[in-house]
Amino acid sequence: MLPSSILPKPSHKSEPQNNIMVVATQSLETTCINSIRFLAIDAVEKAKSGHPGLPMGAAPMAFTLWDKFLKFNPKNPNWINRDRFVLSAGHGSMLQYALLHLFGYDSVTIEDIKQFRQWGSHTPGHPENFETAGIEVTTGPLGQGICNGVGLAMAEAHMAATFNKPDAALIDHYTYVILGDGCNMEGVSGEACSLAGHLGLGKLIALYDDNHISIDGDTQVSFTEDVGKRFEAYGWQVIVVANGDTDTAAIQTAIEQAKAETTKPTLIKVRTTIGFGSPNKAGTAGVHGAALGTDEIVATRKQLDWPHEPFIIPEDARAHFAKAVTRGAEAEAEWNKLWETYKTKYTEEAARFDRQTNYKLPEGWEKSLPTYSPEDKPLATRQTSEKTLNALAQAIPEFIGGSADLTHSNLTQLKGFADFQKGSYHGRNLRFGVREHGMAAICNGIYLHKTGLIPFCATFLVFVDYLRGALRLSALAETQNIYVLTHDSIALGEDGPTHQPVETIASLRVMPNLLVFRPADGNETSGAYKIAIERRTTSSVMAMTRQALPQLAGSSIDAVARGGYIVDGDLDIPDLIMIATGSEVSLCIEAAKKIRESGKKVRVISMPCVEIFEEQDKAYRDAILPPATKKRLVVEAGSTFGWHKYCGDEGDVLGVDRFGASAPGGILMEKFGFTVENVVAKAKAVLG
Amino acid sequence: MLPSSILPKPSHKSEPQNNIMVVATQSLETTCINSIRFLAIDAVEKAKSGHPGLPMGAAPMAFTLWDKFLKFNPKNPNWINRDRFVLSAGHGSMLQYALLHLFGYDSVTIEDIKQFRQWGSHTPGHPENFETAGIEVTTGPLGQGICNGVGLAMAEAHMAATFNKPDAALIDHYTYVILGDGCNMEGVSGEACSLAGHLGLGKLIALYDDNHISIDGDTQVSFTEDVGKRFEAYGWQVIVVANGDTDTAAIQTAIEQAKAETTKPTLIKVRTTIGFGSPNKAGTAGVHGAALGTDEIVATRKQLDWPHEPFIIPEDARAHFAKAVTRGAEAEAEWNKLWETYKTKYTEEAARFDRQTNYKLPEGWEKSLPTYSPEDKPLATRQTSEKTLNALAQAIPEFIGGSADLTHSNLTQLKGFADFQKGSYHGRNLRFGVREHGMAAICNGIYLHKTGLIPFCATFLVFVDYLRGALRLSALAETQNIYVLTHDSIALGEDGPTHQPVETIASLRVMPNLLVFRPADGNETSGAYKIAIERRTTSSVMAMTRQALPQLAGSSIDAVARGGYIVDGDLDIPDLIMIATGSEVSLCIEAAKKIRESGKKVRVISMPCVEIFEEQDKAYRDAILPPATKKRLVVEAGSTFGWHKYCGDEGDVLGVDRFGASAPGGILMEKFGFTVENVVAKAKAVLG
C-alpha cells in the first residue's frame, strides 16, 4: 500500500482548469479523458492481458493533443496531409485504439476493442500499421516509434521542400510522438533524436510520458539521468509539464509553444502517474502490464466517479468526440481545394505528386538500369551498386537515402544531388552519422510516411547486427526499405573478423518478408535493384562485395527475377550441380570448366535471391535443380547453415563456419578454400 | 588543400610545457609521442591498409595516460590488479599495438608491427583480446569498447566490494577508455554511459578523442550535439582539454581531476587533430582510414622533425619507455606482498579469490542443480530457469547478472541477494534498465575483467535483435556470457508478432562459438545451465518458454551434454524419427504415441542444443539418427531454416516461416499447427 500522499488525487476533486478553448467544459473534458481510460481498463480486463497503466496516465495528454491539435480525417486515414501520430510506447496500444475508436475511425469498432488481443482482431497486442487503419507505424519494441517519428518528420520536410510553393503548402503537417521511459532508455532513440536535433526538425513534437515507472519498478533503480538536459544537448527545445494528470491547460500551452518553435524539435516532458485513478495501483509497476482485476476496477470506477458499465461511453463524450469527424472532413476538403488549384497552376509538379503518392513509378525507369557484357571490366558489386543507385536517383526522384558514415566505402553518394540538411530538406543524400540502428528505424519512418518515398540505407554488412531491431520491423511492417550492405564476406580482408560477415547472410535469410540479394556481377546488381524497387511492400538487403568480380556471360537483369537460374551449362540433366551466390559464382564457373575436362556434365546455378527462387513454381525449380541430380555442391563464402535444403543428402556445402581473420582478402579466400582447385576437389568428392 | 590557419602547428615549434613530473623532458616526451605516431604511420603504409589518423591525433593523450597514470606490468599482462585500458575506437589499433610494443609487452614485437594486418600475425586489423596479450577487449564495431569499459568498471567495483578489507585493497584499479566520435554517435554507448552515471562509477575515465572528423568528413554533417552536456545529463563529470595535440600538461591535469572525482565517471573531452603532423592531410577524413602514401609520409617526417627510418625508434625514447617494465614489476611486487598478507589474514576470502580468479568452480556446485521427475508439476522453462539461476547464485558466488527491465517476466531475480547499485556494489542483481545492447556489451566487459565473474543477462528472446552487435562480440571474443532469453516462440501469445520470435533461434544457431539451448523441461534446463557454466570461453543462449511444459520421463541433466538424445523410443532402428526442441518435445512424444498405434516404430529426439550435437562423434550421431531411417519430421515453433540438414531429402519440417499474430498462446499454437493431430498428420505424410 502506498502512502496516501503520493496517491493521485481524483480528478473530479481537482480545481477547474482555465481552459482557453471552449470545445469542452472541464467536466466534459474529464469525461472524455476517462472514456479513454476505461476503454483501456475494460479491454485489458476482458483480454486478461495488456497494459492499462500507460493509457490511464497518458490519456490527458493524448486527449488534449487529439482534441485540440491533431489534424486528421477519421473517415480517410490516408489523407496525405494529416498530422502523423506515433505511440512509441506501443505496449500502451489500448490508448491508441481508444483514440481511434472514440475519434471516429471505422477501423476500430467497439467490438474490435472487446476483441483486444484476440485471434483475427484489428486490435493486436501492439499497434500494427498493416492491421489497423489509422496506425501509422508498428511499435512495441521500445525506442522504434520515436525514430520512426524522426523519419516521418524528415519525409514531411522533404516532401514540403520538394513540392510546396509560396502559395501552396501541399505538405504541411506535424509529427507527434508519445514516448515513455523505455523509449528514452533505448540507445536507438538517442541516435535518431541526436540526428533530429542536428537537422532542426521543427515540426517534430514528442510528448514524454514521464511516469517514473518501468517494468522493474521505479526508474530510480536504473534511470536517473536528466532526460531533458540530454535532449537540450541534442539541440531540442525542452518543455516541462509538471502535472500531466490533470493540468490539460499546461499540456495545451506546451504544445502551442512546441509548434511556435520552428527550428528545433520539441520534447514535452509531461509528469504523469502511471495507472492514474487506480487507488491501490497508481504509480506502481503493478499497473504497467497486467489487468487491474475486478476489485481494483470497482475501486477505480469509484475513484474516478465512473458509473458506466464496461465499454459504455457516455453520450456527451460520444457527441464531443464525434466533432472530430466534421473537423477532419472540413480540413481535408480545404486541402482538396488547395490541391485542385495546385494541379492547374503547377501541372508538372502535380503530375509527379500524383504519380508518386499513388505508388506509380516513372514511366520507363527500368531502362536506366545499367547492363554489362563480359567485355566490361571487373567491378566490385559495391561499384555496380553505385552505378545503379545513381541511375535510379536520376530516374526515380522519390529515391532517397544514405549511409551510416560509410558513404565512400558503401559507395552510396547520389551524385549531383544535395545533402538533406537543415536548410536543404530537398536534398536526397541522407547523412546518418555512425547510427545504424537509428538509420534503419528512420528509413522505416520515411517509407511509412506513405507518400511514395523509397528510402535506402547503407553500412557494412556485418553491422546489420546493430540495426536488426529495426530491420525486423521493416519486414513486419511491410515497408520498402533497401539496405545497401557492402563488404559482404571474409574477402573484405584486413579489417578482420569484427568486420567480416560469416553468419550474417544466413541470419538474414531466415527473416520473413525480406529479400536477401547477393548479386554475382553488374547485371545481377541491376536485376536485384529492379526487384527491390518494384516490390513496394517488401524490404531488401543488397549484399555487395568489396572486391572486383568479372562480368559474367550468362547473367542478366531478368534472370534475377527468378531468384536462381542456370548461369553456366545447359538444360540437359547434369551429373553435378553447383549452386553459388555473389563472388563465388565466377569461381564455380571456373571450377566447372575444369570438372568438365573429366567428361562430367556440370551446371552452375547462380542464386542471387533464395527467397525469390522459393517463390517460383515447382516446374521451374525442378527444371533448374533437377531432382534426379543428387550430386550438388553449394559454394558461398558464408555460413553453410540452411544450404542443405539445396545440396540434399548426397551433396555438400563449401562455406565458412568460423569467424574470419585479418589478412588481405585474396589470401583469406585462399586460406578458407575458395580457390578453383579446392572447389574442384570438393566437387569431385561429391561426385564420388 | 586546407587553409594554413587550421593546419596543426608542428609540435617541435611549440612552447615547452610546464610538466609537473620529471620522468621525461619536453623533447623526450615529444620523441616518445612521435614514436607512437610513426609506428602507426609506417605499419599502415607497409600494410597499405589501416587507420593512421587516430593514432597520430591521440598519441599525446595515450602516451600521457600510459606514461604517467596507467598501472600495468608489461611482463605480466594478466596481473589482476592492473588498470584496464580499452581502445573503443578500435580502428586505431596501431595506437594500441604501438603502446604495447613500446611499453615493453612481449606480445607485440617490432616484427609483429611490420606484419600489421597480415595472415597469422598478432596485430590484426582491430584489437582482439584472444589474439594479443595486453588487449583487454575486442573492439572495432563502434561503441562496444566504452560499454565494455563500463562492464570492466562494474566488475572492479564488485570485486572490490566483495574482497577488499579496510587494510587490504586487493582490487583497486581504474578503467580507462579512449573513444571517438563514432563511439559517441552509437546508441549503445549512450545506454551504457547513462547506466554508468546512474551507478556512479568513479573509477571509469573516458578520454574522448574529439577530432571533429568521421569517415564521411567533418562531424558538422551529422553530429552537432553537445556531447559534454549529454554526459553531464548522464551524471558524469566532464572536463575539456582544449588542445590535445600538444598540451600534455592539460591532459595530465584532467586525468588527475578525473581520479579525484570518486563518485562519478569522468569524460575528458580532448580536442585533437586527426592525423596530426601530416601537412596536407591532418584534420581531414583522408587520413582516417588509408595509408598516408610515400610523399605525405616524407612531408610528415619533415614536419614532425623525424629523421628515423621506418620502424626505428630512437634510443632515448626506447630507454624511457623501458622504465615501464621496472615500474610495472614493482607495482605487481607490491601487490603480491599485499596478497601474501591477505592470504594469511583473510583465509576464507583468499581461498575464494584464488579459486575464482583461477577459473575453478566451487567444489560440488553442480549438485545444486534442480532435478525433476514426471510427477513434478508442469512449469514454464523460464520458471525452471529461475530455480536454476537461484541455485547457481547460491552455489557460485561469482555468478552475477540481471535483466533489461524484465526481471519479473524473465524471472531472473537472484533472491536474497542485493542489487548492484551505487553504495552496494557487492550486490549481484544487475539492473540494466531498458538497454539491451548496452547490457550485453557491459556483460562482455564484466567477463573480460577476467576475475572469474560469470555474467548473465536477460530480455525477451525476440529482443536479442537489439543486442546482436554485442552478442557477436561475446562469441568472437570468447567470453562466457549467458543470455537468458524468455518468451521463446509464438506461444507467448497476446503481445503479438513484434514480440514473438520466429526466425530468431535459427538466426542465433548460425553464430560461431555460441551455444543455443532450447530446453524441453526442468532437467534439460539444469543440463543447459550446467554446460553454460562449465564452458568458460563460450557464450550461451537460453531460449525459455513463457508457457508451462510437462516434466519428461526421458530427460536428464546429463543427456543435454550430448546436444541431442533419444527422449522417447529405443535403440532399434525406427521407421520414423521425430526431432524436436523445447516446447515441441512433449508434443512429439504425444504424437509418437498415436503414430505407434498404427504399428510404426517411432523415435523422438530431443535436441536442446544443435551445436553440441554436432560436436559429438559420428558413431554417437549415427546411433541417435540412424542414416537408414530417412523418414524424419522436425518440429520446432520457429523458422524451418537449417533443419533440412537433419530431416534430409525424405523428411519434413513443421515450423513457422511467417510472422506470428496476437492471440492467446494456446490458440496460436493450434492455428499454426502445433497440435498432436497435425503433427501426426505431418508424420504420416512423411511416412507415405
- A436, A584, A611, A636: which one is catalytic? A436
Q: How far apart are CA B62 and CA B65, in angstroms?
A: 5
Q: Which residues of A touch B234 (CB under 8 A)?
A: 225, 230
Is A223's CB within 8 Å of B433's CB? yes
At B233, which CATH number? 3.40.50.970
Q: What is the pLDDT of residues B289-298, one digit of tens each?
A: 999 999 999 9
Q: Residue A298 pLDDT more than 70?
A: yes
Task: Spell out which residues of chain B touch residue A49, defining contact as CB-CB under 8 Å.
Answer: 493-494, 664
CATH number at residue B654: 3.40.50.920
- Measured at the CA of B506, the angle between CA B503 and CA B508, to 5 degrees, comes to 110
| pLDDT level of residue A121 (50, 70, 90 thresholds) | very high
The distance of B420 to chain A (nearest Cα, Å) reads 10
Whole-angstrom distance, CA of residue A543 vs CA of residue B540: 28
Identify whether residues B12 and B134 lie together within a single domain. Answer: yes
Whether A498 and B406 lie within 8 Å, measured CB to CB: no
User: Could you tell me the CA-to-CA distances from A400 to A397, A439, B120, B215, B376 in Å, in that order?
Assistant: 8, 13, 42, 20, 59
ipTM confidence score: 0.96
Query: Tell me: the pLDDT tens digits for A3-52?
Result: 333 334 334 333 334 434 334 445 999 999 999 999 999 999 999 999 99
pLDDT number for residue B26: 54
Q: What is the mean pLDDT of chain A?
A: 95
- Residue A133 sits in the same domain as residue A274: yes
Do A157 and A235 belong to one domain? Answer: yes
Shortest CA distance from A652: residue in chain B: B645
Nearest CA in chain B to A404: B216
DSSP helix/strand/coil, A443: helix
**Cβ within 8 Å, pair B403-A216:** yes
- Contact check, Cβ <8 Å, A639/B510: yes
Q: Rounded to a whole number, what is the distance in Å from the CA of A648 to chain B's nearest CA?
A: 6
| Nearest chain B CA: its distance from A442 CA (Å) | 14
Does A628 fall in a domain?
Answer: yes
A496/B659 CB distance under 8 A:
no
Contact between chains at A403 and B222 (C-beta distance less than 8 A): no
Asked whether residue A497 is assigned to any structural domain, the reply reads yes
Q: Which residue in A189, A435, A462 is closest to B186 by CB distance?
A: A435
Domain shared by A544 and A575, yes or no: no
Residues B540 and B437 placed together within one structural domain of the fold? yes
- Residue A433's domain spans which residues? 365-549
Is the distance from CB of A514 to CB of A541 less than 8 angstroms?
yes
Inter-chain residue contact B142 with A406, CB threshold 8 Å? no
In-domain check, residue A465: yes
Give the phi and the psi of residue A281 in degrees, each rounded to 5: -120, -15
Euclidean distance between CA atoms B593 and A153, whole angstroms: 58
> What is the sign of the dihedral through the CA atoms of B667, B672, B678 and B683?
negative
CA of B105 vs chain A CAs: smallest distance (Å): 21
- The closest alpha carbon to B225, from A424, A231, A423, belongs to A231
Give residue B513's pLDDT band: very low, low, confident or very high (50, 70, 90). very high
Q: Which of A328, A352, A375 is the last residue of a domain?
A: A328
Q: What is the pLDDT of residue A26?
A: 53
For A135-226, where are the E strands, in sequence order? 175-180, 204-210, 213-214, 217-218
Last residue of a domain, one of B525, B549, B573: B549
- Is B512 found in the same domain as B591? no
Q: Do residues B220 and B293 both lie within one domain?
A: yes
A663:B232 CB<8 A: no
Q: Is residue B141 part of a domain?
A: yes
Identity of the residue in B186, B407, B509 whose CB atom sits nearest the CB atom of A434: B186
Calculate how close chain B gets to A430, using CA atoms only, in Å. Answer: 9
- Out of B118, B225, B406, name the one closest to residue A197 (CB): B225
Residues A208 and A302 in one domain: yes
In this prediction, residues A181-189 reach a mean pLDDT of 98
- Minimum-distance CB partner of B125 among A117, A469, A662: A662
Q: Do B128 and A50 touch (CB under 8 A)?
A: no
In a domain, B351, yes or no: no
The reported pLDDT for the residue numbered B9 is: 39
In Å, how far are A577, A602, A684 from A631, measured between CA atoms? Answer: 6, 10, 10
CB spacing of B222 vs A664 below 8 angstroms: no
Task: Tell me the chain A residues in contact with residue B667 when contact means C-beta distances shorter than 8 Å.
Answer: 119
Question: How many structural domains comprise chain B?
Answer: 3
User: Which of A115, A185, A643 has the most B C-beta neighbours within 10 Å, making it the best mutation to test the interface with B?
Assistant: A185
Verify that A8 and A114 share a domain, yes or no: yes
CB–CB of A139 and B498 under 8 A? yes
* Average pLDDT along chain B: 95
Mean pLDDT of the region A427-446: 98
Give B-chain residues touching A89 at CB under 8 angstroms.
none
With contacts defined as CB-CB under 8 Å, which chain B residues touch A405?
182, 185, 214-216, 222
Residues of A in contact with B493 (CB under 8 A): 49
Per-residue confidence (pLDDT) for residue B21, from 0 to 100: 40
> In this structure, is residue B334 part of a structural domain?
no
Q: How far is residue A317 CA from its own chain's centroid?
A: 35
Dump pLDDT digits (tens) for A384-431.
999 999 999 999 999 999 999 999 999 999 999 999 999 999 999 999
pLDDT in tens, A591-648: 999 999 999 999 999 999 999 999 999 999 999 999 999 999 999 999 999 999 999 9
In 3D space, the residue among A215, A184, A194 whose CA is nearest the CA of residue B191 turns out to be A184
Residue pLDDT, tens place only, B411-467: 999 999 999 999 999 999 999 999 999 999 999 999 999 999 999 999 999 999 999
The model's pLDDT over B21-49, given as tens digits with 9 standing for 90+, comes to 434 445 999 999 999 999 999 999 999 99
pLDDT higher than threshold 60 for residue B4? no
> Does residue B371 sit in the same domain as residue B299?
no
Q: Are residues A581 and A536 in the same domain?
A: no
Query: Is residue B386 among the annotated active site residues?
Result: no
The residue among A116, A216, A227 with the most chain B CBs within 10 A of its CB, best to mutate, is A216
What is the mean pLDDT of the segment spanning B96-124?
98
Instruction: Indicate whether B94 pLDDT > 60.
Output: yes
Average of per-residue pLDDT across A565-580: 96
List the single range of A418-422, A433-437, B25-29, B147-151 with lowest mean pLDDT.
Answer: B25-29
Distance of alpha carbon A91 from alpha carbon B58, whole angstroms: 45
Chain A to chain B Cβ contacts (< 8 Å): 337
At B3, the pLDDT band (50, 70, 90 cuts) reads: very low
- The residue from B523, B549, B575 where one domain ends is B549
Q: Is B500 within a domain?
A: yes
Does residue A8 sit in the same domain as residue A118? Answer: yes
In a domain, B502, yes or no: yes
